[in-house]
Amino acid sequence: MNIAFNVSDLLGILPVLIVIAFAALCALAEVFAKPGQSRGFVGTLGLIGALIAFAANAWQWHGLDGAYSVPLFGGGLVMDAFSTYFNFLFLAGTALTLVLSTKYLKEHGSDLGEFHALVLFAAAGMMLMAQSRDLIILFIALELMSVSIYVLVAFVRKSRRGAEAALKYFLIGAFASAILLYGIALLYGATNSVELTTIRRALDADPSLANGLLVRLGMVLVLVGIGFKVALAPFHLWTPDVYDGAPSPVTGFMASCVKAAGFAVLIRVFTVTFGYDAMEFGAGGNGWVGVLYLLAIVTMFAGNLAALPQSNVKRILAYSSIAHAGYLLVGVVAGSFGNLTIDTEAAATLGPNGAILFYLMVYAFSTFLVFSALSLFGKDGEEHTHLSDLAGMGFRRPFVGLALAVGMLSLAGMPPLGGFFGKFYLFREAMLSGRPEVTILVLVAIVNSMIGLYYYLRVLVFLYMKEPTREVPVYSSRGATTVGLISLALVFLLGLFPGGLLTMAQRGIGSLRPVVTTPTASLTATEPQTPPAASRQAGSRAPRLELKAPPAQLKLATPINLKATTTH
């Protein structure tokens, strides 16, 4: 394969490029800052970068036509509504994190411009994770995200716990990355490719290979690598320590964006690529869904039960994030039943996955709402996020209390907040998949969300029903207020008018379907056909992206008829 990229390939990753450029700018700006000068301007620079990237992303979103995806760089990357949806999430999360952290860093004596650079680097990694259709690029993007996050966790120099958490995260993260890489190697060994479409084609062509030991082991190892990042039990043990030790804005960033990136990969790699024969369980089929099924149950219980006795809000939120990963896994399981290649079932499987996309967005804003308030508790490297530190805060700082309370209620899934609708929609879609085993899973999830209420409400009890026992430093910050207000508005809006975002999520998930191959494709077809759209773009030098599907491809936009169309 030759060097196959041109301007339109670069335009396809325009938001990523902008983010990386601004990350470098931020790092550079730090060099020119005078000692002792406030680094707020670096944060502003980063924010501008995130917003420009957001605008570029919006431009892509509008340019993309329906459920259509554009391969970039010869297929290693892709720009589709799915990745663009996730980019919205990452960029919004990045912007909120940057706004939230400016004052935080000052209060904790770590006002360094590199923070903003690293947040942007991490964002670039996440965006590429969502866009990659190549396991090597995926791995490097994941490392880009992880390395940045490792440093961010340890960013507050005065915090001993932060350093300890970062070290732990780094050590186990390196372990998990190695496992992931080994899994990728095994998949490469089995299919002679690291490109997801080619892998899929190879698996489709040879069922005995797809069900074989090699592929299975490779998938398990990949699953462990990704499961570590999204904190699935039993790979979740680092989560409470790291979430607790990390600076609060970073914890928020991790809970919302890192998790979302992991799920983007999970959907693209598992639901779409390994969708082969997913429902067969045991020796007959590949049956990876069964593994996720068990993981979902274990994860939900591990998160919710372990959260019960916690007395530190950040640890509670860490376990809650584990539990939410479990709920999301319910969606992945439900959405993976029925092969994505089979037209008739495609529509049924899209629902739960679309619900995951919606849920992730709502979860992100609920998390930021909570952390916009929680990040205010503390000073000089020490965060005061014990439950008793919150006592009486609902009346002493009404808006801080309101943000925490609404955020917790949204995470708990109380109507009319976004969290309720996300959960409701996810479970509903899962139920509609119509399989009894999924119904049982949904029941388990509902039982779990009831258990969850206990610890979310405990926070409210402390906020509004306990007298403060000691004085804790709580600073005020316009940035945090802004983040809080934006998130608050969105949490309510998404609960009351989820229609717009739902349409976006469905469009996003709809764009995954073109990763479909003809059953006749052979194992030797390592060279993917050049898709018409790509060749057209390669031919035209027009600087503007031509993203509209050619007429022959138009039937892709209609939801169901996909049979025997090869576009990748």
DSSP 386: B
- The helix/strand/coil state of 182 is helix
DSSP codes joined into one string, 278-344:
TT--TTSS--HHHHHHHHHHHHHHHHHHHHTT--BHHHHHHHHHHHHHHHHHHHHHHHHSS-TTSHH
Interaction residues for another protein, span 215-274 (CB under 8 A): 216-217, 220-221, 223-224, 228, 233-235, 237-238, 240-241
Q: What is the 3-state secondary structure (H, E, C) of 210-276?
A: HCCHHHHHHHHHHHHHHHHHHCCCCCCCHHHHHHHHCCHHHHHHHHHHHHHHHHHHHHHHHHHHCCC
Distance CA 552, CA 377 (A): 58
> Closest distance between another protein and the C-beta of residue 139, in Å?
8
560 binds another protein (CB under 8 A): no
Contact 110, 158 (CB under 8 A): yes
| DSSP H or E segment with residue 188 | helix 160-191
Q: Does 157 bind another protein (CB under 8 A)?
A: yes
Query: What binding mask, one character per residue, do residues 107-146 give for another protein by CB under 8 A, x or -?
Result: --xxxx-xx-xx--x--xx--x-----x-xx--xx-xx--
Q: Sign of the CA dihedral 301, 261, 403, 418?
A: negative
Q: Does 392 bind another protein (CB under 8 A)?
A: no
Q: Is 566 exposed, middle or buried (0-12, 13-18, 19+ CB in 10 A)?
A: middle
Interface with another protein, residue 365, by CB under 8 A: no
Check residue 148 for interaction with another protein (CB under 8 A): yes
**Is 207 among the residues that bind another protein (CB under 8 A)?**
no
Of the two residues 7 and 237, which places its CB atom closer to another protein in the complex? 237
- Interaction residues for another protein, span 35-54 (CB under 8 A): 35-36
Is residue 525 part of the contact set for another protein (CB under 8 A)?
A: no
- Which one among 214, 444, 485, 538 touches another protein, defined by CB under 8 A? 214
* Residue 450 in contact with another protein, rule: CB under 8 A: yes
Site for another protein in 5-34 (CB under 8 A): 5, 20, 23-24, 27
Give the tokens for residue 427.
């479970």
Q: Which range touches another protein (CB under 8 A), out of 91-99, 163-171, 363-371, 507-515?
A: 163-171
Task: Find the binding residues for another protein in span 278-337 (CB under 8 A).
Answer: 282, 287-288, 290-291, 294-295, 305-306, 308-310
Closest to another protein by CB, 273 or 553: 273
By CB under 8 A, residue 177 contacts another protein: no
* Residue 174 or 552 with smaller CB distance to another protein: 174
Residues 415-444 that bind another protein (CB under 8 A): 415-416, 421, 425, 427-428, 431-432, 434, 442-443
Least distance to another protein from the beta carbon of 564, Å?
25
Assess contact for 110 and 380: CB atoms under 8 A.
no
Within residues 51-80, the interface with another protein by CB under 8 A covers 73-74, 76-77
Phi, psi of 523 (to 5 degrees): -65, -30
- Residue 178 interacts with another protein (CB under 8 A)? no
Helix (H) or strand (E) holding 69: strand 69-72
Contact 196, 135 (CB under 8 A): yes
